[in-house]
Amino acid sequence: MFKRLREFNEQTVTVNIEGEDVRVPLGETVAAAVLVHNLGYTRTTPISGAPRAPLCMMGVCFECLMEIDGLPNTQACQVQVAEGMKIRRQQGVGGSDA
């Protein structure tokens, strides 16, 4: 579980994480937002379905692959939150039910 050191007073946007509207600070990455939201895991593996969560936060581990605004295989640590953004976990290879 992660938390913000202080409640934000900067500008915020509302994103939708797995069906739930969440207010997050502008400029934050999707990966940071879902970690604070306590999503637990961000994707399941295509092989065994094991849950995975962000590991590197700098784009080299590809564990934070999520479906962002309908686009699967998006690295959540490399994308910043935007108003109205729809964020879903990637199940397996992703995109099959999109």
Partner 1 sequence: MPKTYQLVVIGAGPGGLCAAITAASLGLDVVVLDEQPSPGGQIYRGISQTPDDRSALLGADYQRGADLVAAFKASGAQYWPQTTVWSLNSRREIGILRQGRASIIQAERVIVASGAMERPVPFLGWTLPGVMNAGAAQILLKTAGVVPAQGTVIAGTGPLPLLVAWQYLRAGVKVKAVLELSPGTNLWRAAPYLPGALVAGDYISRGLKYTLDLNKGGVPIYYGVSRLQARGNDRIEAVEYGWDILGSDRRETIITDSLLVHFGVIPRTNLTKAAGCQHIWDRGQQCWRPQVDRWGNTNVPGIAVIGDNAGIGGARSAEHSGRLAALEAARSWHLISTQQRDRQAHNDLKWLRKDLRVRPFLEALYRLPDSLLVPPDDEILVCRCEEISAGQIRQAVREEHGDPNQVKFYLRCGMGPCQGRQCAPAVAQIVAAENKRPVADYTTFRVRPPIRTLTIAQLANLESSES
Residue ranges in contact with partner 1 by CB under 8 A:
1-6, 25, 27-29, 32, 35-36, 40-41, 45, 47-48, 50-63, 65, 71, 73-75, 78, 80
Read off the tokens for 54. Answer: 């962000």
What lies within 8 Å, CB to CB, of 6 at 6+ separation is none
Q: What is the dihedral of CA 93, 77, 25, 84, to 10 degrees?
A: -30
Closer CB to partner 1, 48 or 96, in the complex: 48
Query: Smallest gap, in angstroms, from Cβ of residue 23 to partner 1?
Result: 14
Query: Smallest gap, in angstroms, from Cβ of residue 14 to partner 1?
Result: 17
